[in-house]
Copies of this chain bind each other. A is one copy, B any other.
Amino acid sequence: MSTSLSRSEAKDLTRRKLIRAALAILDEEGEAGLTTVKIAKAAGIAQSSFYVHFKDMRHLLRVLAEEGGERLRGSMREARRRARESPDDLERHRDTFRIPLEAICRHPELLRIQLRARHDPSSSFRDFATQKAAAYREHHAADLAALGYTADDERDRRRLEMIAEAVDAATNALAMGHLEGRYPDLEECADILTALSRGALRLLRSTSGGPA
């Protein structure tokens, strides 16, 4: 505005505008609505200038995946860090759900895009989303193991993974319900998830022991 930017600063600003515009369109209209025409228009430049910043559409999609992945990683690191700080096991278990729920609510568009991509065979983000979901599932299973639900044999290990996958899906569903306004209280969502999880873990506890 007042201070004229240097050329590289101006270019970087335009690039960020493009990414910002693309993420908004991706969230609002889905991958099918993501065209160079719309992105450039939303960013306030000519359609052809899109190619000054990205080699082609694929390039932008790769960058968006990296961008989204970085934000997701950041939220997860924070979640893990805070969950580890909880005083007792019960509170830690509850935090295992409350913190991801809060992370989702901070960047709901990332969850929406991920859920969409995961089931769409034409999506450029499909592999990325599947990979992220698997990583989160394993991380969750490891968290449960850290709470004392040791999985000694193959059967229990598989069950722990199934519980993690089932509870993750439930977490996403309740988070979406919260975002849609159906479940206003996030604490109540965490309560339900904790209860679900503890119920399922009873299956393991009975065979291999666990915390109170």
Q: How far is the CB of A31 from chain B (nearest CB, A)?
A: 7
Q: How far is the CB of A94 from chain B (nearest CB, A)?
A: 13
Residues of B near A173 (CB, < 8 A) are 165-166, 168-169
Identify which of B29, B119, B159, B162 contacts A177 (C-beta below 8 A).
B162
Q: How far is the CB of A119 from chain B (nearest CB, A)?
A: 4
Contact A195 B199 (CB under 8 A): yes
Q: How far is the CB of A163 from chain B (nearest CB, A)?
A: 6
Given the interface pairs A30-B120, A162-B183, A174-B166, the reply to whether A196 lies near B193 with Cβ below 8 Å is no
Contact A29 B169 (CB under 8 A): no
Asked if A192 is an interface residue, CB under 8 A from chain B, the answer is yes
Identify which of B29, B163, B200, B202 contacts A121 (C-beta below 8 A).
B29
Asked if A172 is an interface residue, CB under 8 A from chain B, the answer is yes
Of A112, A123, A173, A183, chain B has the most CB atoms within 10 Å of the CB of A173
Asked if A116 is an interface residue, CB under 8 A from chain B, the answer is yes
Contact B191 A195 (CB under 8 A): no
A33 to B116, CA, bound (A): 15
Asked if A71 is an interface residue, CB under 8 A from chain B, the answer is no
Asked if A167 is an interface residue, CB under 8 A from chain B, the answer is yes
Could you show 7 A-B contacts with beta carbons less than 8 Å apart?
Answer: A31-B32, A158-B183, A162-B183, A166-B173, A195-B200, A199-B201, A199-B202
